[in-house]
Amino acid sequence: MSEETKEKLHINLHLYDTDLTVIINREEEKLYRDAGKTINEAVNTYASIFKGQKTDKEILYMALVDIALRYQREHDRNDAQPYNDILDKLTSEIEAALA
């Protein structure tokens, strides 16, 4: 067995009404299982509200938008680029003043 194969792991994730087998890096198992839990929680929340009013596909898309929105908020909150731009500008001004 190669080193790469040893590090891979087959896991089954139950996502809403579907079982999904994925091959992952062993060290990421908890991340995948937590992601599955997040998906199930979001889909179950929307299903409890809209089941019978919306199709399963619409419910899945609602959950997908919800999760993507959480991701985008977290990404924007942790975006360091504006701070890096300010630091670059200040560094240039300090270097110009010292020259």
| Residues 31-50 pLDDT 10s | 999 999 999 999 999 999 99
Q: How confident is the model at residue 77 (pLDDT cuts 50, 70, 90)?
A: confident
pTM value is: 0.70
- Average per-residue pLDDT in the chain? 90
Which residues lie closer than 8 Å to 24 by C-beta, 6 or more apart? 8, 9, 11, 32
Examine the pLDDT at 2 and tell me if it is beyond 70.
no
- Listed by start position, the domains of the chain span 3-98
Distance CA 45, CA 65 (A): 13
